[in-house]
Amino acid sequence: MTSPTSTEPRAAVASLAALASRYDGRRPDRWSPVPEQLDAAIAHDIELAEAGRVARAPLVAELARRFEFPAHYLDAILLVPRERFVLPEDLAASADDTPLPLDRAGHATVSAPHAYLLTYSLLGLAPGDRLLELGTGTGYGAALARRILGPTGHVTSIEIDPALHVRAARLLGARPDPRGDDEALACSSAGPSYEGASVTLLCGDGRSLAERVLAVGRTLPSERPWKVAVTYALTAPPAALEEQLADGGVLVAPVGAWEAHQELVRVERHQGALLREIHGAVRYVAERGRG
């Protein structure tokens, strides 16, 4: 990748902001559900997409300088159009390495790009793996993971907020996928594509559904073990999820009793034992649901 000059990042951000202004005032309330027609307009805006990609190039260069992420992780940041996954009012900030809000109460955000890659690197996420994500949001993390995992991998992601689940399914191209007679389980799925891995989206309490997914996974020893990413802060280590990890399975989650005292925890099952590591201070939104 060509290194940008000192003026290029500012020009790229200015261009993105100018094009983002096309969508100013499209909604009377920034916290109302994003209409399907507006998402479609943004998705088909070729000039906006190119401006977003150019504006993310300096971000990729900065991440490469600060971290030792694999090249295909950085490629995912460049190629996945983050502008589609934020609120329309935040299009101009979509290339920034900062979390962006998704609801009025602050319960949900699109995390900063580096936060996803940090979690994926601790998981050792690689092509062909299976990722279980707790906290879909609008699907940006799942979109990054699809690129990283490639067409032989799979992402299952769980979201407690029905409105976010619906928007994530739309943005990821997932279609309703009824699961047997379990009418209470909202599920959407999309097969592998040029964007990467297949994806299954579930709507409900993250821990409860994750335990079910992991329990089924333990009965299929021929499958790769799940790698589990929690995208919101837990008040205590998720013992029930840890116990469900198959050998070789890994879980990464922010854990802390309050926002200012959270740590990124990595747990791996190796030869039957659970190995625990702490990887520094972080700040994530709090868990909703069972807790």
Token pair in block for residue 264 = 């990124």
Distance CA 143, CA 196 (A): 8
Strands (E), 181-270: 186-190, 198-203, 226-230, 250-255, 262-270
Check 3, 15, 21, 111 and give the catalytic one: 111
Angle between helices 71-79 and 140-149 (to 10 degrees): 130
CA 271 to CA 285: how far, in whole Å? 33
| Catalytic-residue membership of 3 | no
Helix (H) or strand (E) holding 149: helix 140-149
Tell me how many helices (H) and strands (E) the chain has.
9, 11
Encoding tokens for residue 12? 């790229």
Of the candidates 3, 113, 125, the one whose C-alpha atom is nearest the C-alpha of residue 70 is 125
Query: Mind telling me the catalytic residues?
Result: 111
